[in-house]
Amino acid sequence: MEKTFWMVYLMATFSAMLFVHLVSAWDYHNESKNWAKEYPNCGGRLQSPIAIEHKFTNYKKTSNLIFDGYLDTKHNATIMNTGHTVVIEVNGKSLVYGEGLKGKYIAYEIHFHWGMNDIVGSEHMLNGHRFPMEIHILHYSEKYPNSEKASKYKGGLLVVAYFVKNDKSYADNEDLADVVKNVKMVKFKGNRYPVISWKLEAFFPVNQTCYYRYEGSLTYPPCWETVIWVIFKDALQISSGQMNEFRTNLDELDESAVRILMGNNFRPLQELNDRIIYRSCDPVMSDVTSSLSWSAVLLMLCQVGIFMDNSYFWYLVLHKYRPTEW
């Protein structure tokens, strides 16, 4: 009887250990094309990240996003090395609502994606450009008791994303200094370290009024397609030295294993599949002419048209190539 008990116990323990291993067995090296074999959601039609082209987004006039507890709430958080990224566990006192969101969303986690050079790193692409880093602040709907429960329902999660750019000419970003300096304290997978008294406003870009929004998924297994994405257009700035803290101080494995530097931890772009990307700001032309109003552009075209007795020209101006919003 006792022998049977221990056999059952050992089998259960081994099964639990195997389950934990499988849950964390995915990585960024053997590419995410294979994720769908173990995690079917990763092969869905609403996957993230995606490429965003500003000129192909739809302007949608809405109320502003409200960040409650981002500016005035100090967090005693924990920074952790998961083997995939650096995670900051947030205490849940900061909320996001407004902008057509159904209810409030509670911040629970911040994590980072970066490249080992300045050419790649961000998960999303903006106007054909990748940034060396992208920061995600994860939230879950207050309708659910926790993020795990919320992740099973459409619109249950909200991810606020920020691009990050760096250059030798940039000074250190003082707002992010506390986070950056603690990266070296979680060198190996499983390391945790307390981060005392900092505010989420450190992750705010200068311009908070221009962002993109679409429906997508988590960018890592199990790739739940229950995420509302809000991606700010303007990037944060950090110094090259701060960027290198991420590139040189973090390992994917624990202390007993061979050293593998963490980086290039971003998923390849996914198909848009007829999804609509909305923008909160409305430069009526492409980036090249965004500083000009449509009326000014139309005036210039009219001056050209004086010399062109061509009805097709005016059809193009007034119908085919006019902005979607007048």
pLDDT digits (tens, 9 = 90+) for 134-190: 999 999 999 999 999 999 999 999 999 999 999 889 999 988 888 898 999 999 999
Buried b (16+ CB within 10 A) or exposed e, 222-254: bbbbbbbbbbbbbbbbbbeebbebbbebbbbee
Neighbouring C-beta atoms of residue 262, cutoff 10 Å: 27
136 catalytically annotated: no
Q: What domains lie within the chain, and their CATH numbers?
A: 28-279 (3.10.200.10), 287-320 (no CATH)
Q: Which of 84, 111, 113, 139 is catalytic?
A: 84
Structure tokens at 220: 């890592």
Q: Give the C-alpha separation, 111 to 203, whole Å.
A: 11
Dihedral sign computed on CA atoms, order 224, 229, 231, 236: negative
Q: Give the C-alpha separation, 165 to 238, whole Å.
A: 6
Task: Quick: pLDDT tens for 59-101.
Answer: 987 778 899 988 766 677 899 999 999 999 988 788 999 878 9
Task: Quick: pLDDT tens for 218-248.
Answer: 999 999 999 999 999 999 999 999 999 999 9
